[in-house]
Amino acid sequence: MNDSLKITYVGTDNRNTSIIEFDELITSLDGFNKAIKKIHAISKINGDISIEAADVRSGSIVFELLLHVQLTGQPFLDPRHAIDFLRLCSEGLAQIAQDALTVDGNLNRFYSEQGFNATALTSLVPLFIQRAIKAAGKMKRNLNATTDDGRPIPTRYVGPFRRMVDRGEFKKALKPIVDDTVTRIEVGDGDLKTVLDQTSFQEYLGEGDQVLPQLVNGQEVTLTATVTGMQSTRSDSLTLKLHDHGGLSVVAFPADGKTTKDYIDFYGQRVLVTAKIYRRSDYQKPKLILKELQIEQTEIFE
């Protein structure tokens, strides 16, 4: 008894969108694994869920995750939990279940007549996960948000979904976007997929997930750093370890008219950096556009 959920990563290199750092993918998939299990717990499905990657395709990188649900009895112990689950998936099924509950006081007839057993439940879990993730992103700004087709999100889910955002429970899953190594991550496929991109990803992160928000886009700053890396293959850039900000590593682009070759002598050196901040979001690492780089002078006191 299983069904699948597709997660697609679209890289930043337009020539080949499947070029994505391996450790970023591993961290992100582990984050999705934890987030899916948390959403499963919120659903109150009466059983356990396990997740495994069944297929990987390139182009962009597509992981097909198999979701295994092992029930321990009826799908839900509380009929209200079943109706909430169905309401997020299908208003039609939710209404049939509600009618059965009104007549019988339980869902036994619904389970039997609709064939709502473990197999049917499992087939709906990927859709529930997709819609739960999309709903969680709406909770940050509006606790009264509705689904994309205008239906209310079940009240019982509002608090738990908002807490997932506030507690940073999507942060690992979104690491490739935070680190700007992918342009977007798609959860699911078709018209119902949830797209996490360079704008929407912010709705899944709490205020505590901001990265050096004091470094404002367009601001000119002077920082101390060590040049730890240089790249000229995919883009001309340097990697700087910032001593002023906890050793955070950031990307810096050469000043106008210069290339990384002009900075070779600074490699491994502690330097004084004058640069302009470039960033799209306070939830991503700032980038630097270099104006000046010089060896930091150490004063010697006698």
Same domain, 184 and 244: no
Chain segment 147-187, per-residue pLDDT in tens: 888 888 999 999 999 999 999 999 999 999 998 889 999 99
Q: Looking at the domain assignment, is residue 34 inside a domain?
A: yes
**138 vs 127: CA distance, rounded Å:** 17
pLDDT of residue 202: 93
With left for phi above 0 and alpha for psi between -120 and 50, is residue 76 left, alpha or beta? Answer: beta
Residues 202 and 180 in one domain: yes
- Average pLDDT on 97-103 reads 80
pLDDT at 301: 46
> Do residues 87 and 224 share a domain?
no
Q: What is the pLDDT of residue 216?
A: 96
Tell me the pTM.
0.84
Per residue in 176-228, pLDDT (tens digit) is 999 888 999 999 887 778 999 989 999 999 888 999 999 999 999 999 999 99
pLDDT of residue 298: 64
Mean pLDDT across 117-126: 77
Co-location of 204 and 267 in the same domain:
no
Tokens of 58: 């390139």
For residues 224 and 196, state if they share a domain: no
Instruction: Provide the pLDDT for residue 32.
Output: 94
User: Based on the structure, what is the number of domains in the chain?
Assistant: 2
- Both 154 and 269 in one domain: the answer is no
pLDDT at 302: 45
- Tell me if 161 is assigned to some domain: yes
Calculate mean pLDDT across residues 232-241: 85
Q: What is the CATH number of the domain that holds 227?
A: 2.40.50.500
Residue after which a domain boundary falls, among 208, 242, 272: 208
Q: What is the pLDDT of residue 48?
A: 87
Q: How confident is the model at residue 62 (pLDDT cuts 50, 70, 90)?
A: confident
Given 208, 229, 261, which residue is the final one in a domain? 208
132 and 93 in a common domain: yes
pLDDT for the residue 163: 95
Q: Is the pLDDT of residue 72 over 80?
A: no
> In 3-state terms, the chain is what percent helix, strand and coil (to 5)?
35, 30, 35
pLDDT at 23 exceeding the cut of 70: yes
d(CA 87, CA 139): 17
80 and 196 together in one domain: yes
The separation between the first and the last C-alpha atoms of the chain, rounded to the nearest angstrom, is 76
Q: With a cut of 60, say whether residue 144 has pLDDT above it.
A: yes
292 C-beta neighbours (distance < 10 Å), count? 11
Q: Which of 235, 297, 245, 295 is nearest to 271 (CA)?
A: 295
Q: At what angle do helices 22-43 and 155-166 cross, to 10 degrees?
A: 150
What are the φ and ψ backbone dihedral angles of 121, each rounded to 5 degrees?
-60, -45
Strongest mean pLDDT among 60-64, 100-104, 141-145, 261-265 = 261-265
For residue 71, give its domain range. Answer: 2-208
Judging by DSSP bridges, how do beta strands 61-71 and 47-57 pair with one another? antiparallel
